[in-house]
Amino acid sequence: MKKVSQLISSLALGTLLAIPTLAQPLVQPNAPDYNPKASYDGPYKLNTWSISAHFGPSMFFGDLREYDFWPVTKTTSDSHKESGTIQGGITINKQLSYFFGARLDGSIGNLRGMKRRNYNRYFEGNYGDVSLSGTVNLKGLLMGPNKMKRWKVDLYAGFGQIFYDATAYDLTGGIDLRTTGKKNDWIVPTGLNVSYELTKRLDLGLDFRLTHTNSDYLDATYGGDYDRTKNSFIIADQKTSHKGNSELDKYGFGAIQLTFKLGKNPLKVQKVDGKWDYKPEDGGFYNLRYTDPRVLVKAPKILTLEEMDSVAKANRPEDIDPRLLLDTDGDGVSDFFDKEPNSPAGSIVDGAGRVLDFDSYVKNALATGAACSEIFANVQFDTDKNVIQPEFQEMLKNVAALMNKNGCRLQLAGHADRRATDRYNMALSRRRVEAVKNFLINEGGLKDPSKVIVDYFGSFKPIADSSTRQGLVKNRRVELKLLP
């Protein structure tokens, strides 16, 4: 028993030290119900607090104990009853992760024992203790989260204090031989807890504990104290040592435990179609005592080809109106929006494609101080050329004048027809758009070149059919878009 209890103590105390490093959250900030402050893995919030009450028989192990396992149950002329002692208490539980937790215990009880050999005495005493322990989810470690989902089996160990008052009596005469007075000592509780989840709120369980004390005086007797002289010394004065020539005292209990799980909107695992399953989407929270957060993350569904095709068809956008891609008159406004789809080449148009008298527009803008409006125009080029033709030079000078007066911005986009490689056409469209910008600066007197936005697309954005000569002419262009 000694070796088993020491093994349990080492395991659970090691758990307490390991908790800060093992219980680190898995960061999934976009997951539903994500709790960034949680000490456990997984994307979902879980309830982690509970409170328990336990009650059951207590038992003493020390010098005044007749047998190792079975207590004496009757009082006779040469023996005294050891059974019949009880204890009860409260436990506050905090689950830190699925595998590790902590518990704060407080309990009160009474103890008694006797020894005929050598001592010929018995004792009776009361105690209260408080302790903090680390817990290890033994069921989870050995069986995983998907078996016995409504069961919890924990090993635990910790440290705390006991406060006690006991008196030892002569077995045959009933004379009180020793008394401890009110004393306290350190304790190391070790135990096994088994719980079953009855409802969303309540668990029913059993708690078995063996508590090691740092004292040999719990029974008002130390090892080797065979003197039965009444009050030959006072236990409370024994401050130089905690023990005699025997092992330190122990005590324990077996108890029925009822646990109330705290937290909002509690859930518990349910059996659906003969299979235990979790449904966090129901809007509640499972308790970390029973639920590994990783089992709440559903595996992604792998779609068949037919399912993928069905999803693609259901989400397919409507076809684009082909008029959005055509600009028959080459004025920079697609036919879908163009109110005048047959504007003469080089016309200045507004956002609706209507032809504007540019000189009148400039005069009106200067006279009224009107803000700039969106105006579109195209500058066309000869095959494989980037020279500004005379018929477009006056228009560009007027654009520069308007930009200087009203602070308008200008967006330039260079294009080419398809009669070359893509690389060559990209370079050609770039030379054309730079030629227009340089003309605006050098010939038009543009004061702020930073207001010109430049882009080029090669032959990738035609506005006319490149299989005809007329279409090729329209595609060799630089589009101008005057912006407020």
> Of 10 and 440, which is predicted with more confidence?
440
pLDDT in tens, 262-314: 998 898 888 777 777 888 777 788 999 898 888 887 777 787 888 888 887 78
Work out the end-to-end distance of the chain between its first and last CA atoms, rounded to an integer number of angstroms: 89
Select from 309, 292, 54, 96 the least CA-distant residue to 193. 54
What is the set of domains in the chain, with CATH numbers?
2-296 (2.40.160.20), 324-483 (3.30.1330.60)
Residue 96 corresponds to which tokens in the numbers above? Answer: 């830190």
Q: In this model, does residue 63 exceed pLDDT 90?
A: yes
Residue 108 corresponds to which tokens in the numbers above? Answer: 């009160």
Q: How confident is the model at residue 142 (pLDDT cuts 50, 70, 90)?
A: very high
Contact 409, 451 (CB under 8 A): yes
Q: Would you say the pTM of this structure is higher than 0.85? A: no
Instruction: Taking residues 93-117, report their average pLDDT.
Output: 95
HSE at residue 200, side-chain half, CA atoms within 13 A, is 11
Residue 88 corresponds to which tokens in the numbers above? Answer: 């009860």
Furthest C-alpha separation in the chain? 134
HSE at residue 319, side-chain half, CA atoms within 13 A, is 3
Q: Which of 39-48, 277-286, 367-376 has the lowest mean pLDDT?
A: 367-376
pLDDT in tens, 442-472: 998 999 999 999 999 998 888 888 888 888 8
Contact 440, 452 (CB under 8 A): yes
> Of 156 and 14, which is predicted with more confidence?
156
Crossing angle of the two packed helices 358-368 and 390-406, in degrees rounded to 10: 10
pLDDT value at residue 238: 58
